[in-house]
Structures are given as C-alpha cells and as structure tokens.
Amino acid sequence: AWAGEDFGKVTEVDFDYTQDPETRETGDWRITGPEVDLHFVPEHHRRERVGQIWIAETDFNQYYGTLSGTFTLAGRTWQVDEVFAVCEESLIRL
C-alpha cells in the first residue's frame, strides 16, 4: 500500500460480504485485519465471464463504489473518508 510518503505491506486482510451466486451482486463489504478496518459500499458491478468448453471457465467481477475507514501503514494510521474504490473478485474453474 502507498499512502502519502509511506509505502509498505499490509500483512493480512479478510473480506466479508454476501453475494448472489447467480448474478454475483454483493452487499456492503467489511475489509478487516490487524492494520485495516474498512467499509466498501459497491455502487456498480461489471462482470466478464469467459468459458472454454472442457478446459476452463472464468468469472471476473469488478465492484465500483466508496471506501471508508482506517488503516495503519509504517506505524501511522490513515483515515479514509468515502473515496472512490474498486474491489475485484475472480473465479477460475478447470
């Protein structure tokens, strides 16, 4: 992650959200970890499904919305106030 002049690695993050298995639409996301407490509200969804018969199927989803909360990087805590953000999810079936 990069914030201001601070650059570092966020060590661990959990994504918690519910999803419709057919449409892949989601509700709000909670993104948490030892250094992260964020809330993502999806407003738009883009889905790309590509399948190759008998080989692989991919289901790529991008969610556009707002992100707010806090995260800590290099010992400094940053406040995020409703900024535009993109979250992605991808599934590959062989």
Rounded to two decimals, the pTM is: 0.83
What are the b/e assignments for 11-25, b being 16+ CB within 10 Å?
Answer: eeeeeeeeeeeeebe
State yes or no: pLDDT of 3 exceeds 80.
no
Q: What is the DSSP letter of 50?
A: E
pLDDT of residue 4: 72
Tens of pLDDT along 15-47? Answer: 999 999 899 999 999 999 999 999 999 999 999
